[in-house]
Amino acid sequence: MDSELTGRAFDYRPVTKDRWPDLDRLFSASAGEELGNPSRCWCMEWRRPHDEWEQQTGEGNRIAMRERVEGGDVPGILAYAGGEPAGWCSVSPRPTLSGMVATGGFRNPGRADVWSIICFYVPEIHRGMGLMKGLLRAAVAYAVDHGAKIVEGYPMAPEAFGDGAGGSTTLFEAAGFVEVARISDEQHTMRYFVDGRR
Protein backbone atom coordinates (compact mmCIF):
# COMPACT_ATOMS: atom_id res chain seq x y z
CA MET A 1 0.00 0.00 0.00
CA ASP A 2 1.66 3.23 -1.13
CA SER A 3 0.55 6.80 -0.65
CA GLU A 4 1.80 10.26 -1.57
CA LEU A 5 1.15 12.72 1.23
CA THR A 6 2.27 16.36 1.09
CA GLY A 7 4.97 15.47 -1.42
CA ARG A 8 6.44 12.56 0.54
CA ALA A 9 5.91 8.89 -0.23
CA PHE A 10 4.89 6.53 2.55
CA ASP A 11 4.49 2.78 2.40
CA TYR A 12 2.17 0.86 4.74
CA ARG A 13 2.77 -2.70 5.96
CA PRO A 14 1.22 -5.01 8.57
CA VAL A 15 3.42 -5.75 11.59
CA THR A 16 4.28 -9.36 10.89
CA LYS A 17 7.00 -11.30 12.71
CA ASP A 18 9.74 -10.13 10.36
CA ARG A 19 8.80 -6.49 11.03
CA TRP A 20 9.13 -6.70 14.82
CA PRO A 21 12.57 -4.98 14.75
CA ASP A 22 11.00 -2.01 12.97
CA LEU A 23 8.22 -1.63 15.54
CA ASP A 24 10.76 -2.06 18.32
CA ARG A 25 12.95 0.68 16.84
CA LEU A 26 10.03 3.07 16.28
CA PHE A 27 8.63 2.74 19.80
CA SER A 28 12.01 2.68 21.57
CA ALA A 29 13.04 5.92 19.85
CA SER A 30 9.96 7.69 21.22
CA ALA A 31 11.26 7.71 24.81
CA GLY A 32 12.42 11.32 24.62
CA GLU A 33 9.19 12.73 23.21
CA GLU A 34 6.77 14.73 25.31
CA LEU A 35 3.54 13.67 23.58
CA GLY A 36 2.47 10.34 22.14
CA ASN A 37 5.31 8.34 23.69
CA PRO A 38 4.57 4.59 23.26
CA SER A 39 7.82 3.41 24.88
CA ARG A 40 5.93 2.90 28.15
CA CYS A 41 2.66 1.48 26.88
CA TRP A 42 3.85 -0.51 23.83
CA CYS A 43 0.18 -0.46 22.80
CA MET A 44 -0.54 -3.19 25.33
CA GLU A 45 -3.03 -1.25 27.48
CA TRP A 46 -6.07 -2.95 25.96
CA ARG A 47 -4.34 -6.19 25.03
CA ARG A 48 -3.89 -7.44 28.61
CA PRO A 49 -5.63 -6.99 31.98
CA HIS A 50 -5.28 -3.37 33.01
CA ASP A 51 -3.54 -4.06 36.33
CA GLU A 52 -0.91 -6.17 34.52
CA TRP A 53 -0.40 -3.45 31.96
CA GLU A 54 0.18 -0.83 34.68
CA GLN A 55 2.63 -3.06 36.54
CA GLN A 56 4.60 -3.87 33.39
CA THR A 57 5.12 -0.30 32.13
CA GLY A 58 8.07 -0.08 29.80
CA GLU A 59 10.14 -3.23 29.32
CA GLY A 60 7.43 -5.60 30.54
CA ASN A 61 4.99 -4.28 27.96
CA ARG A 62 7.69 -4.37 25.28
CA ILE A 63 8.32 -8.06 25.99
CA ALA A 64 4.58 -8.80 25.93
CA MET A 65 4.20 -7.10 22.54
CA ARG A 66 7.24 -8.87 21.13
CA GLU A 67 5.85 -12.23 22.24
CA ARG A 68 2.56 -11.47 20.50
CA VAL A 69 4.19 -10.45 17.24
CA GLU A 70 6.68 -13.33 17.25
CA GLY A 71 3.79 -15.67 18.01
CA GLY A 72 2.04 -14.66 14.80
CA ASP A 73 -0.32 -11.91 15.99
CA VAL A 74 -0.50 -8.88 13.69
CA PRO A 75 -1.28 -5.97 16.05
CA GLY A 76 -1.28 -3.14 13.56
CA ILE A 77 0.18 -1.25 10.62
CA LEU A 78 3.56 0.45 10.22
CA ALA A 79 4.17 3.36 7.90
CA TYR A 80 7.57 3.60 6.24
CA ALA A 81 9.41 6.57 4.77
CA GLY A 82 12.51 5.73 2.78
CA GLY A 83 12.49 2.22 4.22
CA GLU A 84 12.47 3.45 7.83
CA PRO A 85 9.49 3.09 10.21
CA ALA A 86 7.65 6.41 10.36
CA GLY A 87 4.30 5.74 12.07
CA TRP A 88 1.99 3.20 13.66
CA CYS A 89 -1.72 2.38 13.83
CA SER A 90 -3.08 -0.37 16.06
CA VAL A 91 -5.83 -2.47 14.44
CA SER A 92 -7.02 -5.88 15.66
CA PRO A 93 -10.12 -8.05 15.92
CA ARG A 94 -11.92 -6.89 19.05
CA PRO A 95 -11.88 -10.34 20.77
CA THR A 96 -8.05 -10.20 20.85
CA LEU A 97 -8.20 -7.05 23.01
CA SER A 98 -8.82 -8.79 26.32
CA GLY A 99 -8.34 -5.64 28.39
CA MET A 100 -10.93 -3.78 26.37
CA VAL A 101 -13.43 -6.64 26.40
CA ALA A 102 -13.02 -6.91 30.18
CA THR A 103 -14.43 -3.41 30.64
CA GLY A 104 -17.86 -4.81 29.79
CA GLY A 105 -18.78 -1.81 27.67
CA PHE A 106 -19.43 -3.68 24.42
CA ARG A 107 -22.33 -5.69 23.09
CA ASN A 108 -21.27 -9.00 21.56
CA PRO A 109 -17.60 -8.54 22.55
CA GLY A 110 -16.65 -11.85 20.95
CA ARG A 111 -17.55 -10.80 17.40
CA ALA A 112 -14.42 -11.49 15.36
CA ASP A 113 -15.78 -9.45 12.45
CA VAL A 114 -15.58 -6.25 14.51
CA TRP A 115 -12.07 -4.79 14.45
CA SER A 116 -10.86 -1.96 16.70
CA ILE A 117 -8.46 0.85 15.93
CA ILE A 118 -7.11 1.87 19.32
CA CYS A 119 -4.26 4.26 18.72
CA PHE A 120 -1.77 5.96 16.43
CA TYR A 121 1.80 7.06 16.87
CA VAL A 122 3.70 9.38 14.54
CA PRO A 123 7.16 10.63 15.58
CA GLU A 124 7.62 14.36 15.91
CA ILE A 125 9.70 14.60 12.72
CA HIS A 126 6.86 13.15 10.61
CA ARG A 127 3.94 15.07 12.12
CA GLY A 128 1.92 17.50 10.04
CA MET A 129 2.25 15.45 6.85
CA GLY A 130 -1.16 13.76 6.90
CA LEU A 131 0.37 10.46 7.94
CA MET A 132 -2.46 9.54 10.33
CA LYS A 133 -4.88 9.73 7.40
CA GLY A 134 -2.78 7.25 5.44
CA LEU A 135 -2.39 4.96 8.43
CA LEU A 136 -6.14 4.95 9.03
CA ARG A 137 -6.88 4.07 5.40
CA ALA A 138 -4.30 1.28 5.49
CA ALA A 139 -5.67 -0.09 8.78
CA VAL A 140 -9.23 -0.19 7.43
CA ALA A 141 -8.06 -1.89 4.23
CA TYR A 142 -6.13 -4.52 6.19
CA ALA A 143 -9.08 -5.22 8.50
CA VAL A 144 -11.51 -5.57 5.58
CA ASP A 145 -9.10 -7.87 3.73
CA HIS A 146 -9.03 -10.09 6.83
CA GLY A 147 -12.76 -10.40 7.39
CA ALA A 148 -13.89 -7.25 9.18
CA LYS A 149 -17.51 -6.26 8.64
CA ILE A 150 -17.22 -3.32 11.02
CA VAL A 151 -14.12 -1.28 11.89
CA GLU A 152 -14.45 0.70 15.10
CA GLY A 153 -12.46 3.62 16.51
CA TYR A 154 -12.59 5.71 19.69
CA PRO A 155 -11.37 9.17 18.65
CA MET A 156 -11.44 12.45 20.53
CA ALA A 157 -13.30 15.60 19.55
CA PRO A 158 -10.83 18.08 17.99
CA GLU A 159 -10.98 20.43 20.98
CA ALA A 160 -9.89 17.57 23.28
CA PHE A 161 -7.32 16.03 20.93
CA GLY A 162 -4.54 15.89 23.56
CA ASP A 163 -1.59 13.73 22.47
CA GLY A 164 -3.57 12.52 19.46
CA ALA A 165 -3.12 8.84 20.25
CA GLY A 166 -6.73 7.92 19.50
CA GLY A 167 -7.11 10.16 16.47
CA SER A 168 -9.74 12.86 16.03
CA THR A 169 -13.40 12.59 15.10
CA THR A 170 -12.74 14.70 12.00
CA LEU A 171 -10.04 12.25 10.86
CA PHE A 172 -12.43 9.32 11.20
CA GLU A 173 -15.34 11.17 9.58
CA ALA A 174 -13.19 11.92 6.54
CA ALA A 175 -12.48 8.17 6.24
CA GLY A 176 -16.19 7.28 6.18
CA PHE A 177 -16.74 6.49 9.88
CA VAL A 178 -19.98 7.49 11.61
CA GLU A 179 -20.62 8.12 15.29
CA VAL A 180 -22.60 5.34 17.00
CA ALA A 181 -22.10 6.19 20.69
CA ARG A 182 -20.21 8.44 23.09
CA ILE A 183 -17.79 7.22 25.73
CA SER A 184 -17.75 10.77 27.14
CA ASP A 185 -18.47 14.28 25.87
CA GLU A 186 -14.99 14.33 24.34
CA GLN A 187 -14.50 10.70 23.25
CA HIS A 188 -16.73 9.07 20.66
CA THR A 189 -17.24 5.55 19.35
CA MET A 190 -17.22 5.63 15.55
CA ARG A 191 -17.73 2.83 13.06
CA TYR A 192 -16.95 2.12 9.45
CA PHE A 193 -19.55 -0.28 8.02
CA VAL A 194 -18.02 -2.31 5.24
CA ASP A 195 -21.33 -2.97 3.48
CA GLY A 196 -22.45 0.61 4.09
CA ARG A 197 -25.36 -0.43 6.34
CA ARG A 198 -25.55 0.31 10.05
- What are the tens digits of pLDDT across the range 57-102? 889 999 999 999 999 999 999 999 999 999 999 999 998 888 877 6
DSSP 85-148: EEEEEEEEEGGG-HHHHTT--SSSTT-TTEEEEEEEE--GGGTTSSHHHHHHHHHHHHHHHTT-
Which residue ranges form the domains of the chain, and what is each CATH number?
2-193 (3.40.630.30)
pTM score, two decimals?
A: 0.90
